[in-house]
Structure 1
């Protein structure tokens, strides 16, 4: 996912009512580059598209790579690396009061899947966004925050 983020171009995002279609041109499961399109919901809390628009305006990016390194003076320095994504995740986890050693770039994907599953969303719909081909693999991502929530024994224990 980190390499997919840093490879996104501005043209890969097509806004539509309520969100956007995002084309991922290549991934580790799509080495031929056939591309995959996923939907990104704007949402009412996180608002990722508003954040991307604000980033593009602040960095004055109109085309080319969506995420680029920026100097302290605000000058574009070129492409980000996948490792930079991991460092940013760790940095902001720490700023939010979490143990940064427990987070990585992969936490973005795992967190989305876990949050979707805990909210009761259908696994097939989650897999459409995460692009998992196997529900068994998808299940391995779900990290139960509360092992007693929706416990199967709740109705008879």
Structure 2
């Protein structure tokens, strides 16, 4: 399908994770279209095709429960071809991502975008509304705030792997909630030692600075516990140049740079070792940093300087949630006293 569009997507300079997600979405579109219409996919797609894609993958409520229009035989075939992990409708976020990717593919080929068709836009809007009315919200990874992060650090011993993982976790969290691609791509060339256990890391490329512009906020302090852990790891590993965080091979040999996937695996394994309940991922370090900053009432501008967020709206929800928990209006009833002078919480004692 649209080979030129796919190649243009890959050339955009996106992160490896973004490219992988684009490829996956485009492969899914091609597989679904071939099974649905019995021919190879070709751009531009008609709006009716996109509408069919939506009703095939979005659920609607019926007396028999939630249903979608994807024929079971096609659903099974998509699983057999490795285009989806299991039968059944995808999450709403997955459906919306696939629509965004096919819209981008049309844009890059200068083709009429079927997702911009009024009928398609109305259907997508009503689909979102239907999911919201059912109380279904986008799933978010649990946040690794200070307390659960401390439990992860307790699982890190003084072996090379333990020293590396402690340094990695603290570097990622304390320097503003670095993304896994940023952790995997961290190099000694961008690290400046300011004193014993004190560093400044120059973040050259990030999701919000894909051109690698030299910005004042690129400098991320790595101090305190994070600086001490990084110092210990660099001393034990004897790394002098190249990637900071690396594989540890058998026999305690320091190997090549960690991949994005390896960073995610380390976080998940440490969460399991710590016995944490919840759905955690590498992104939990980023959301945990922001959540902790909001709870401690760190100024929004200071938090954004650390995280690299360019949108205030993205961070405001964390700060509003923290403010709601501190709100004096949340418990105006306070404590009530019964006839014996004992304090009661909530409504008055029934008589």
**TM-score of the two chains, using structure 1 as the length reference:** 0.83
Gaps of 5+ in 2: 1-178, 334-351
Q: Which residue of 1 aligns with 2:279?
A: 102
The answer to whether the 8 Å contact 2:201/2:222 transfers is no
Aligned residue in 1 for 2:220: 39
Q: Please state if 1:51 is matched with 2:229.
A: yes
Q: CA deviation at 1:152?
A: 4.4
Note if contact 2:203-2:220 (Cα within 8 Å) is conserved in structure 1: no
SS of alignment partner, residue 66 of structure 1? coil
Name which of 280, 288, 303 aligns with 1:111. 288
Q: How does 1:2-151 map to 2 (within 5 A)?
A: 2-16=180-194, 19-36=198-215, 37-43=218-224, 47-99=225-277, 102-140=279-317, 149-151=325-327
Relative to structure 1, the CA distance from residue 134 to residue 4 in structure 2 (aligned partners, 3 Å threshold; closer, same or farther) is same
Question: Runs of 5+ in structure 1 lacking a partner?
Answer: none
CA shift, 1:140, in A, is 4.2
Larger fraction in strand: 1
- In structure 2, what is the Cα distance between the partners aligned to 1:41 and 1:8? 13
Q: For residues 272 and 308 of structure 2, what CA distance do their matches in structure 1 show?
A: 28
Structure 2 distance, partners of 1:8, 1:58, is 18
SS of 2:326 mapped into structure 1: coil
What secondary structure sits across from 1:22 in the alignment? strand
Equivalent-residue separation in structure 1 for 2:186 and 2:326 (angstroms): 38
- 1:60 offset after TM fit, Å? 1.5
Change (3 A) 1:20 1:143: farther
Check 1:41–1:24 CA distance in 2 against 1; reply closer, same or farther (3 A cut): closer
CA drift of 1:67 comes to: 0.7
Residues of 1 paired with 2:312 and 2:265: CA distance? 29
CA contact (8 A) 2:199 2:221 kept: yes
Structure 2 counterpart SS, 1:95 = helix
Report the CA distance shift for 1:139/1:34 in structure 2 as closer, same or farther (over 3 A): same
More relative contact order, 1 or 2 (CA 8 Å, 6+ apart)? 1
Cα displacement (A) at 1:41: 4.7
SS of the aligned residue for 1:69 comes to strand
Q: Is the 8 A contact 1:23 1:35 kept in 2?
A: no
Q: Is the 8 A contact 1:14 1:22 kept in 2?
A: yes
Q: CA deviation at 1:89?
A: 0.8
* Count, aligned residues: 152
